[in-house]
Every structure is written in structure tokens, then in C-alpha cells.
Amino acid sequence: MEKQTKHTIQSGEQLLQARQHNLQQVEKSSLRPHGKLWGMDVFTWYNPSGYELENTLTSFPFPVIWFGNHATISELLNASPDVWSNLQTLCVYDSGKIEMPAGAMQSIKNVLGTTEFQDIFEFIRTFKQKNAVFLFTASGGTSESRKKQFEDFLNLHQL
């Protein structure tokens, strides 16, 4: 009897740990609001799925200023023309260039690219406006460090 109780307790602890791990993963990969920055509604999203990202970008009520890595931005621009009209600005922070369909170039007002991640903080300062959404996404192996750097920036500059 004692063996079965001990096994049940261990199984329960393992289940609890697995659940906590899964909740942490969901929190890390969900769209997160951060309030206002210079009049813009700020959101972050780490390792977003393409389908959910497309739906989110098309549902924002204001034009979107999107800073993200080349792979995520390029994939979405090539797969989802519906998002073009809601994007005001794109900034790719891990490549000096981005290839995109001609229709996207005509629809998106500003397209920026840099190979130096720190440059984005200077770029962000130029987009102070009301009635806009600022979205920062990060994917891949550097997403955790990019997340920390961006959230540190927000903590310094949000009122």
C-alpha cells in the first residue's frame, strides 16, 4: 500500500511539473500587451505561429509598426497578402535587406533593415505616434536575448 501511495505522489508531482512547464511555454509564445509607449499600443510575441500572427495583424484596429526577424517577416509577407494593408512600417533587425512581393512594397509605407540589433532602439524613437500598434516579434535561437533587450528598453522608456 505504501508503495502505491509513493508512486501516486511522484506521478502527481511529475504531472504538476509538466503542467507548469507547459504554462511557461504558452506564456512565452503568446501575444503579450505592454501598454503604451509614446502613444502606441505595444505588444510582444515570441515564436509566433504564422497563422495566428496573420490573424492578429489583420485584426489590429490601427496601422501596425512591426519589428521582427527576417525569417518571420519574410515568411508572412510572402504567404499572406492580406496583412500588407495593415502594415505601416516593417523593420527587420537581423538583415540589412528583405525581399518581398511588389504589392507589399507598394502597401507598406516604411521598410527598414539592420544587421545590428541595437539599431532598432534608435528606429523606435522615430515612430512616436498615437493610434498605432507597435509589435515586436522574435523567433529562433536568439529570441530569449532579444526579448530581454526589448523588454529592458520598454522598462526604461514607458511612463
Q: List, for residues 115-125, the tens digit of each pLDDT value.
A: 999 999 999 88
Long-range residue pairs from 48-56, CB within 8 A, at least 24 positions apart, any chain: 48/72, 48/137, 48/139, 50/75, 50/76, 50/79, 50/80, 53/137, 54/79, 54/80, 54/82, 54/83, 56/31
CB atoms within 10 A of CB 18: 10
pLDDT recorded at residue 10: 66
Unique residue bearing C-alpha cell 504538476: 16
CATH superfamily of 31-157: Mur ligase, C-terminal domain (3.90.190.20)
pTM of the predicted model as reported, rounded to 2 decimal places: 0.80
* pLDDT above 70 coverage of the chain, percent: 81
Domain ranges (residues) in the chain:
1-30, 31-157
154, 42 contact by CB (below 8 A): yes
In the chain, the DSSP E strands lie at: 32-37, 40-46, 64-68, 87-92, 110-113, 133-138
The DSSP bridge pattern shows strands 40-46 and 32-37 to be antiparallel
pLDDT recorded at residue 128: 85
Q: Which three cell numbers stand for residue 152?
A: 529592458
d(CA 76, CA 54): 7
Residues of the chain under the 70 pLDDT cut: 1-12, 14-29, 159
pLDDT recorded at residue 20: 59
